[in-house]
A and B are shown apart, each in its own frame.
Chain A
């Protein structure tokens, strides 16, 4: 029995080397995509937490001129579970023609209990004069491993959670083996990571009279999360689509081929195979191909993954994850093989149940001879004969047509999703209000209001402050705008922007958490005094899960200390130049939200394009496999067409017309489906702001899908079509 199985399986695989190879390629592509996807997803859940764990990031860092005794006192404070001290001084260096601030720290030991920089490139410094440079700083300033500058030679780049990415946080970090400085940084890990304020208070009490500065890990987290949120969503969407693609490809390619083997299955049953025997034979056969192809795919995937993982690590500010971890690789292998077995067994079982005589007849001819609805439509449209034949041909077998349409639709969905990501970025860039930053520039110097207002290009300016207020269920994050807030309109999808003191807007998260609706009144305690606000609108709020309250500063009984100045420029002014001018005038950093997003988009492009490319490639393999299978099944019909006088171009025309008809359906179905899926995934991944920031690709961009899909279809039909046109008619027609 086993010998029979083996011989049959081998004969079947060798009899159709082309199909076997194509099946193998599809599984290979699926396995490759799966490995890359799993590797990408592994880093997505909570990238910051991963980075924290990887580097044993400090929950609190204390900076100051500290003696050994001071350090010991800090380390002994309640709640501290680990601490590490290193020398630190701020220095300056000229890099790329500008002077930059550098925070120079002593390189911690490899087994330091807190804040070990994670080397992503190059090596740890071993000798004096060698430097380890924080990765985002190096990227921003153009430093590479091997470069030499005033402080020494760069021998490695590293990632840390000591501070958020440069230039949002500065100075840039550099580690050297020995740093001589009076200043010190003590990093501590706390029993309760949330108890940072208590630790700060305790530290101040323990070292009265010493000037201390603190860095709270929450600040680092918020900056990085704010920066990476959109990217994580985009990568998430693409990886979800990739998982879908992998399953789909394996399902269609294998099911399609098994269904095409119904006649052989009938023969097997005729010579005495049980239905279970048939299933076992086919599953074994495809598992054998699958195993070889999947193993190759794992290798390819592990080789490709770093190309995407590295930019992702940059974007998410995490150490580059390795694609070579055994568990995800094993998982990918098991998933692919399970899918292969499943999608072989289901159609094989169905085929196994078909009456043997019917199965034998199935292979020969099928169809009812009645025109499908689409074919009748083609006839009604008075299409030329060739086109009508193509349309009719394409819809002959419902399962085949469905399979092809599904493969094409999948391509359209991918395209639409990629276009939607692009459109979303565009929308957010065009309107910073969608990230709750309805201003052109933000200057981190509250006292500079007058200076900013004086700038020629500034049309309006006011102050903004962040504060904690106490709501009915505890602390709430709030922002207040100074006078002249009317010029800074948040994006408010529900209700309206506040127009006078006493009115407020809030993010979705706050409404949901407090069970409030637009129009309700909310009383909060500010510095112990109640302030009652009318909620007049819901704004798009990316921060703090949308639990943010915004209102005019004039609503408060007494003024609060502003955090920054925000301003809008007059339309048409050179924003970057104006920002530099303001920086010069105020001595503070001026931040342009638009540039941030633009930078983010540049960062994420390689990942987005890379993963979209992978998806499109998988889609293409799938489409090609499907069309080849379909065309092979139709070889006899095409030979007949040729025998009754259809030219080779005519045969190509038939194949293309059929492909175009299916492609048209795929476009009609795929575009709304793609928009819907994107919207669904976006909402699912980011309930607080997802639906509000979704960009819809313009009609022109969507219209571009049409020629693309038709071109892809034509391209994918070309090979099988040409094969069909070239096949020797005499050979095909004699074989029965």
Chain B
């Protein structure tokens, strides 16, 4: 397996010497689902922002698909984001005055898809996420779970190498959170989507192939998770006789 993302000594310091990230080395393989957890302020969101070029590292390297991207200009990063990355945010960040369809098609159109192609892909995506009938709705009228699914569709329209998700369930009730996680799991399990996901929710992190636990700007511990083999819930209950 080829690594899609590699970072070496990735460091981000803010003004006043605050170190959000202190030399992180991470490698994400193609088709891998990596969760980043840790208490707030541990640097997990900073890591994600750096991987997506929304923020710039103070030092260190980022490789995406085998090429260095850390020195890219804002404009080149924009191209990287539209062609190779998909973003999902905690607060959905849909554009309120565009319809669901427009929101999803937007990055496709920006990346140069024809209007037809964008429409077709959007239709397929919304259908597969179970919100096909909401295409003409305004995002503001949707529930949180629906909005996040729209955001995921938007992130996937350009068939990105990597999906970057920042607390995608953080603003959702547990039922909506489960819906959204099901969508992400499907994308990964069935279509091999590479995902890097930041969360403070252990339950969400447990879906990943690998969990990076961060502390104070560094990866403190790494857990590899195996697909569960249990076929029955019966061993959860122990009736005393």
Is A–B contact present in the complex under a CB 8 A cutoff? yes
Q: Which of A50-58, A675-683, A728-736 contacts B (4 or more CB under 8 A)?
A: A728-736
| Given known A368-B97, A370-B99, A640-B93, contact A645–B107 (CB-CB < 8 A) | yes
Q: Which of B47-55, B175-183, B205-213 contacts A (4 or more CB under 8 A)?
A: B47-55
The answer to whether the Cβ of B8 comes within 8 Å of any Cβ in the partner chain is no
Q: Which of A252-260, A492-500, A539-547, A647-655 contacts B (4 or more CB under 8 A)?
A: A647-655
0 or 1 for each of B72-89: is its CB under 8 Å from A? (1 = yes): 001100111111000101
0 or 1 for each of A635-676: is its CB under 8 Å from B? (1 = yes): 011011111111111100000000000000000000000000
Q: Which of B62-70, B133-141, B186-194, B220-228 contacts A (4 or more CB under 8 A)?
A: B133-141
Report the nearest A residue to B139, measured CB to CB: A369
Determine if A647 and B79 form an interchain contact, defined as CB atoms under 8 angstroms apart: yes
The answer to whether the Cβ of A396 comes within 8 Å of any Cβ in the partner chain is yes
- For chain A, the count of residues having a C-beta within 8 Å of the partner chain is 36
- Least Cβ distance of B37 to chain A in Å? 18
Determine if A396 and B111 form an interchain contact, defined as CB atoms under 8 angstroms apart: no
Bound-state CA distance A637–B98 (Å) is 11
Bound-state CA distance A142–B237 (Å) is 111
Bound-state CA distance A346–B44 (Å) is 46
**Which of A393, A636, A642 contacts B78 (CB under 8 A)?**
A642
Chain A residues within an 8 Å CB radius of B83: 645
Report the nearest A residue to B109, measured CB to CB: A385
| Given known A369-B97, A392-B97, A644-B81, contact A649–B52 (CB-CB < 8 A) | no
Q: Which of A384-415 contact B (CB under 8 A)?
A: 385-386, 389, 392-393, 396-397
Determine if A733 and B140 form an interchain contact, defined as CB atoms under 8 angstroms apart: no
The answer to whether the Cβ of A515 comes within 8 Å of any Cβ in the partner chain is no
Chain A residues within an 8 Å CB radius of B54: 642-643, 728-730, 733
Bound-state CA distance A636–B140 (Å) is 15
- Least Cβ distance of A652 to chain B in Å? 11
The answer to whether the Cβ of A365 comes within 8 Å of any Cβ in the partner chain is yes
The answer to whether the Cβ of A366 comes within 8 Å of any Cβ in the partner chain is yes
Report the nearest B residue to A735, measured CB to CB: B91
Bound-state CA distance A642–B90 (Å) is 16
Chain B residues within an 8 Å CB radius of A636: 93
**Which of B55, B98, B106 contacts A728 (CB under 8 A)?**
B55
Bound-state CA distance A227–B58 (Å) is 72
Report the nearest B residue to A639, measured CB to CB: B93
Bound-state CA distance A640–B83 (Å) is 15
The answer to whether the Cβ of B96 comes within 8 Å of any Cβ in the partner chain is yes
| Given known A369-B99, A392-B98, A640-B93, contact A645–B81 (CB-CB < 8 A) | yes
Determine if B96 and A645 form an interchain contact, defined as CB atoms under 8 angstroms apart: no
Q: Which of A347-382 contact B (CB under 8 A)?
A: 364-371
Bound-state CA distance A385–B94 (Å) is 17
A-B contact count (CB 8 A): 105
Chain B residues within an 8 Å CB radius of A397: 97
Chain B residues within an 8 Å CB radius of A648: 74-75, 78
Bound-state CA distance A736–B90 (Å) is 10
The answer to whether the Cβ of B95 comes within 8 Å of any Cβ in the partner chain is yes
The answer to whether the Cβ of B202 comes within 8 Å of any Cβ in the partner chain is no
Chain B residues within an 8 Å CB radius of A641: 95, 106
Determine if A734 and B75 form an interchain contact, defined as CB atoms under 8 angstroms apart: no
Determine if A643 and B79 form an interchain contact, defined as CB atoms under 8 angstroms apart: no
Bound-state CA distance A365–B154 (Å) is 18
Bound-state CA distance A396–B96 (Å) is 9
Determine if B93 and A385 form an interchain contact, defined as CB atoms under 8 angstroms apart: no
Q: Which of B86-142 contact A (CB under 8 A)?
A: 87, 89-91, 93-100, 102, 106-107, 109-111, 136-141
- Least Cβ distance of B23 to chain A in Å? 20
Determine if B82 and A367 form an interchain contact, defined as CB atoms under 8 angstroms apart: no
Determine if A644 and B154 form an interchain contact, defined as CB atoms under 8 angstroms apart: yes
0 or 1 for each of A305-320: is its CB under 8 Å from B? (1 = yes): 0000000000000000
Report the nearest B residue to A384, measured CB to CB: B109
The answer to whether the Cβ of B11 comes within 8 Å of any Cβ in the partner chain is no
- Least Cβ distance of B49 to chain A in Å? 4
The answer to whether the Cβ of B7 comes within 8 Å of any Cβ in the partner chain is no
The answer to whether the Cβ of B45 comes within 8 Å of any Cβ in the partner chain is yes
| Given known A644-B87, A644-B107, contact A734–B45 (CB-CB < 8 A) | yes
| Given known A365-B96, A369-B138, A644-B154, contact A730–B81 (CB-CB < 8 A) | no
- Least Cβ distance of B86 to chain A in Å? 8
- Least Cβ distance of A646 to chain B in Å? 6
| Given known A645-B78, A733-B89, contact A366–B49 (CB-CB < 8 A) | no
| Given known A366-B96, A369-B99, contact A645–B140 (CB-CB < 8 A) | no
Q: Which of B10-67 contact A (CB under 8 A)?
A: 45, 49, 52, 54-55
Determine if A643 and B97 form an interchain contact, defined as CB atoms under 8 angstroms apart: no
0 or 1 for each of A715-729: is its CB under 8 Å from B? (1 = yes): 000000000010011
Determine if B97 and A650 form an interchain contact, defined as CB atoms under 8 angstroms apart: no
Bound-state CA distance A393–B98 (Å) is 9
Chain A residues within an 8 Å CB radius of B93: 636, 639-640, 643, 733
Report the nearest A residue to B113, measured CB to CB: A385
Chain B residues within an 8 Å CB radius of A645: 78-83, 107, 110-111, 158
Bound-state CA distance A368–B97 (Å) is 6
Chain B residues within an 8 Å CB radius of A729: 49, 54
Chain A residues within an 8 Å CB radius of B136: 369
Chain B residues within an 8 Å CB radius of A734: 45, 90
| Given known A644-B87, A734-B45, contact A369–B82 (CB-CB < 8 A) | no
**Which of A366, A367, A370, A643 contacts B52 (CB under 8 A)?**
A643
**Which of A365, A371, A730, A736 contacts B140 (CB under 8 A)?**
A365
Determine if B110 and A369 form an interchain contact, defined as CB atoms under 8 angstroms apart: no
- A-B complex: 3 closest residue pairs judged by Cβ atoms: A645-B82, A369-B138, A367-B97
Task: With A643-B93, A730-B54 given, name 20 new contacts (CB 8 A).
Answer: A364-B96, A366-B96, A369-B102, A369-B137, A369-B139, A370-B138, A385-B109, A396-B97, A639-B93, A640-B94, A643-B54, A643-B89, A644-B106, A645-B79, A647-B74, A649-B75, A650-B78, A650-B110, A730-B49, A733-B89
A-B contact pairs, 9 of them (CB 8 A): A369-B97, A369-B139, A385-B109, A397-B97, A642-B54, A644-B154, A645-B110, A725-B74, A734-B45
